Amino acid sequence: MSEAGKVINCTNYGTIEGEYRVGGMVGYNAAGRIEKCMSNATIQAKYVVGGMTGRSESTGMITECYNLGSIISTGSVADGESSGAPLISPTGGIAGNSHGTVTRCINQGMITASQRVIGGILGRNYGTVSYCCNFGNVTGELAVGGIVGNNRGSIMYVYNRAEEIKKTVVGGCDVGGIAGNQNTNNNSYVKYAYNTAKITSKNGLGGIVGNFYLGTINRTYNVGILNTTATTDVGQIAGYKYNVSAITNSSKTTENEMKGWSQATITTNLGQFVKKENSLPILNITVRDITF
């Protein structure tokens, strides 16, 4: 456990197995800082699993971290984490469950969960996720997102470049290129984000957010293919939309269109921290001497 301490410039290889609150660096980050760390471990656990930490509290920070290893959650209980009991299996490339700040982090590992709340960066977000990108495929049963499975906080300056984000069971509309669902908090939002991954589901899905119930979506762009036979709750930005007017400046686009954007257009659409390259616009993130 990290409590008001720091874990900096650490590297982890190998295999980690556990049950509850399991991470590549720290199992439970109560109030500490995890910085410039890299994990290339295979992690397998039941509940609350992440490449850096299983759970990070509101004063916890994870910054400039990079996960390469596969993360597998095998938990079988589907709903709620209460009083410290392992009643949910949030799983993410950086953290399973975060109430704090996650910034300038990258995931390239494959993320797989047998239950719900799974994302390329975070399984469940109550805090802030910013300047992060995901390249790893994400597969789960419900609330599956390229960046965050279930968003109850803030997501900004992110992109998802995985090959596929996939929900494996029938029922619900909770799979999206950025977030599987966004609910319970009217102040939650996704902005300055794009997705290029294929989104696969037997039911509804969204290019950016699968089930959009509360909060806002602004300045988001979907390039990815929507792979489904469903005829309802399917959308290039959001699948199920409780409040359509809360989606602004967001659209379907193509890689060629994005490659043709000028730096001024990129700054308007994706924020001043995103730069123009010969390929798609990218965030200028350096983690352990690797620039993304």
Range of the domain at 145: 6-291
Residue 16 within a domain: yes
| Cβ–Cβ under 8 Å, residues 104 and 88 | no
* Burial bucket for residue 77 (CB in 10 Å: 0-12, 13-18, 19+): middle
Residue 206 within a domain: yes
Q: How many domains does the chain have?
A: 1
Residue 1 within a domain: no
Query: What is the C-alpha to C-alpha distance for residues 151 and 278, in angstroms, rounded to an integer?
Result: 32
Q: Which residues of the chain are modeled with pLDDT < 70? A: 1-4, 76-88, 291-292
CATH number of the domain bearing residue 157: 2.160.20.110
Say what the pLDDT of residue 3 is.
56
Residue 134 within a domain: yes
The model's pTM = 0.94
Residue 147 within a domain: yes
Say what the pLDDT of residue 78 is.
46
Q: How does pLDDT run across 43-76, given as a tens digit for each residue?
A: 999 889 999 999 999 999 999 999 999 999 987 6
Residue 75 within a domain: yes
Say what the pLDDT of residue 292 is.
66
Say what the pLDDT of residue 85 is.
45
**Measured between alpha carbons, how far is residue 23 from residues 50, 109, 124, 142 in Å?**
5, 14, 15, 22
